[in-house]
Amino acid sequence: MALVYNSIGIPGIILFFIPLLIARYVFKLYSDLRESYLSTIRALVAALEAKDPYTKGHSERVSELAVEIAREMGMKPDELENIRFMALLHDVGKIGILDTVLNKKGTLDPEEKELIQEHPVLGAKIVEEIPFLKQYAGMVRHHHERFDGTGYPDKISGEKIPLGARIIAVADTYDAMTSDRPYRAALTKEQAMSELKRNAGQQHDPKVVKALLKVLERFDPREKELEALKEAAAEGT
């Protein structure tokens, strides 16, 4: 430090440290902003989970799986963050759906089915009201589109569907198939993988399905969840 002081003096030292202080301030600002984002998102997810018991844990699992798929596909860190946020919020539009429709145990009639199919549009509108997220609202709007163009709400196909939406769709479908529902038991991991492979190119992007299958060789959010529950139970005994 003495050598630095002798060579550049006090003004030089000040100029040397200013960029470091600015960088530290910017990093702190970014960290605080990120926490604010997450708090907003978690509040929305909590509101949805209070309304729809099925979504309990579903949004978190879909988010974790979607991020791993995106990572497997070589997406950049900032893109992974956007996928994480949008996957957490993919079903947020269900907040605007009647409880009687959302929690119905029997088969939906055509009118009820139409109401349920509004949730991606409602979700996108909610996301568009959040300044730091609105540019990614398409991931929420299009996560029920099908690769062959027969999905909803806009019946777009192939790579016209945002990549983030295609990734979230695969993660969402896998978690839905491996979850117990009032009208059917959960599929096994192997059965769900088989179904996804069978529908690749029709319902889902084959490249995304391929990435999911690779991810499932090393990671499954549901298995991670079960391990956490076992550890918690062991600590409680």
Q: Do 86 and 62 contact (CB within 8 A), yes or no?
A: no
Averaged over 107-128, what is the pLDDT?
A: 94
**Is residue 23 in some structural domain?**
yes
Q: How confident is the model at residue 229 (pLDDT cuts 50, 70, 90)?
A: very low
| Tokens 């979230």 sit on residue | 168
Q: Is 183 exposed, middle or buried (0-12, 13-18, 19+ CB in 10 A)?
A: exposed
Averaged over 5-23, what is the pLDDT?
A: 55
**Is residue 235 in some structural domain?**
no
Residue 55 backbone phi and psi in degrees, to 5: -75, -5
Q: Do 122 and 116 contact (CB within 8 A), yes or no?
A: no
Q: Which residues pair with 200 in a beta bridge?
A: 204
Instruction: Give residue 4's pLDDT.
Output: 46
Lowest-pLDDT range, 21-30, 35-44, 169-178?
21-30
- Residue of higher predicted confidence among 38 and 22: 38
Residue 84: Cβ within 10 Å count = 17
Residue 75: Cβ within 10 Å count = 18
Q: Taking 70 as the threshold, does the pLDDT of residue 227 lie above it?
A: no
What's the pLDDT tens digit per position in 67-100?
Answer: 999 999 999 999 999 999 999 999 999 999 988 8
Q: How far apart (Å, rounded) are the C-alpha atoms in residues 83 and 163?
A: 10
Averaged over 16-30, what is the pLDDT?
A: 55
Structurally, the chain folds into a number of domains equal to: 1
Instruction: Give residue 39's pLDDT.
Output: 80
Q: How confident is the model at residue 22 (pLDDT cuts 50, 70, 90)?
A: low
Q: Do 75 and 222 contact (CB within 8 A), yes or no?
A: no
Q: Taking 70 as the threshold, does the pLDDT of residue 230 lie above it?
A: no
On the question of a cis peptide bond just before residue 153, with omega within 30 degrees of 0, the verdict is yes
Q: Supply the pTM of this predicted model.
A: 0.81
Instruction: Give residue 5's pLDDT.
Output: 47
**Closest residue by Cα to residue 85 from 116, 122, 39, 50:** 39
**Is residue 1 in some structural domain?**
no
For residue 225, the domain's CATH number is 1.10.3210.10
Q: Do 189 and 216 contact (CB within 8 A), yes or no?
A: yes
Q: How far apart (Å, rounded) are the C-alpha atoms in residues 88 and 40?
A: 11
What's the pLDDT tens digit per position in 129-182?
Answer: 888 889 999 999 999 999 999 999 999 999 999 999 999 999 999 999 998 876
Distance of CA 142 to the CA centre of its chain: 13
The amino acid at 56: K
**Is residue 237 in some structural domain?**
no
Instruction: Give residue 45's pLDDT.
Output: 84
- Domain membership of residue 156 as a residue range: 8-230
